[in-house]
Amino acid sequence: MNKIAATSMNTLRLLPRAALILAMLAAPVLAVPAARGSTGTTIEAPAHKKVGAGFVLLMSLQRG
């Protein structure tokens, strides 16, 4: 009887720690559907203009 009581007390002592770890691991998974719920538009930065100097620089370095 004493061993059963010790085992149950050990289990009850570890239960809050296991619940905390489980909650920390499950929080990002449960937050994903909430983050994808908005249907608003996304504002993006304007695209950079390509200047084309890379090819000219490459050709000039190969000649030299």
Angle (nearest 5°) at CA 37 between 29 and 41: 130
Residue 45's pLDDT is what?
78
26-35: pLDDT as tens digits: 998 888 776 6
> In sequence order, what DSSP letters do the residues of 3-54 get, joined into one string?
HHHHHHHHHHHHHHHHHHHHHHHHHHHHHHHHHTT-------PPPPPP--HH
Q: Is the pLDDT of residue 7 over 80?
A: yes
Query: In the prediction, which pLDDT does 52 show?
Result: 72
Question: What would the pLDDT profile of 13-46 be if each residue is shown by its tens digit?
Answer: 999 999 999 999 999 888 877 666 566 667 777 8
pLDDT at 38: 60
